[in-house]
Amino acid sequence: MANVLNRTTKEYRRSVNTPAFPTADWVINPSGADSLVASGVPFRNWFINPDDSVREMTEPEKDSSNITFEKTNCINKLRSSFVVYMDGKYDVSSQVTINALWNEGNGNSMNNRRNAIQTVMAWFSSVLQEFYNRKNAVLAATTVAAVLAVSHDFSSFDATFPGTSVEDIFNIKN
């Protein structure tokens, strides 16, 4: 039995059957790992040397690694917050139905229905644009503090939410 360290994710496993862990992806019995574990160094701050020994990253390496980690984490949270917010207003089924009603209205001179849908779509577009603005702010950030300063809260769009339901749109006949 051996200890292994994933070269990409830095996942560390103890007392495993090594044939299940190819050396292209895993370091087998990495020298220095036990002292890093004992010192409480987070796995993401481990550096794998060319000889497959491990050491704690230097401060500049940690800064680079941590900002990458925080950017990925922030973008995932931002995406999740956006989806939860939008689903709370118009779930996927409602979005599909609104799109179908838009398509139906295009050929039938249903100007009032199209206008109602345009209002919903303009609101949706504004929230989506804000999502991308925030995502781009995360990607452009040069410090962890700047990444963490990006808000995941979309409730400011509640004030402009059109409040038009799928049923309201469906019931517009002209």
Question: Domain check: are 53 and 66 in the same one?
Answer: no
pLDDT value of position 110: 80
pLDDT value of position 3: 94
Residue 43 corresponds to which tokens in the numbers above?
């796995």
Question: Domain check: are 140 and 76 in the same one?
Answer: yes
Question: Domain check: are 96 and 151 in the same one?
Answer: yes
Q: How far apart are CA 31 and CA 21, in angstroms?
A: 17
Question: Domain check: are 111 and 49 in the same one?
Answer: no
Structurally, the chain folds into a number of domains equal to 2
* Model confidence, pTM: 0.67
Map residue 152 onto helix, strand or coil. coil
- Three-state helix/strand/coil letters over 6-68: ECCCCCEEEEECHHHCCCCCEEECCCCHHHHHHHCCCHHHEEECCCCCEEECCHHHHHHHHHH
pLDDT value of position 27: 95
pLDDT value of position 116: 92
Classify residue 139 by burial, with Cβ atoms within 10 Å: 0-12, 13-18, 19+.
Answer: exposed
Question: Domain check: are 127 and 160 in the same one?
Answer: yes
Question: Domain check: are 133 and 119 in the same one?
Answer: yes
pLDDT value of position 98: 92
Question: Domain check: are 75 and 159 in the same one?
Answer: yes
Question: Domain check: are 100 and 158 in the same one?
Answer: yes
Question: Domain check: are 149 and 85 in the same one?
Answer: yes
Residue 170 corresponds to which tokens in the numbers above?
């469906």
pLDDT value of position 66: 82
Q: How far apart are CA 87 and CA 170, in angstroms?
A: 19
The answer to whether 4 and 31 are in contact (CB under 8 A) is no
Domain that holds residue 31: 2-57
pLDDT beneath 70, residues of the chain: 105-108
Question: Domain check: are 125 and 142 in the same one?
Answer: yes
Question: Domain check: are 91 and 118 in the same one?
Answer: yes
Q: How far apart are CA 167 and CA 110, in angstroms?
A: 15
Q: How many CB atoms lie within 10 A of CB 154?
A: 19
Q: How many CB atoms lie within 10 A of CB 80?
A: 11
pLDDT value of position 107: 65
| Residue-level length of the chain | 174
Question: Domain check: are 12 and 52 in the same one?
Answer: yes
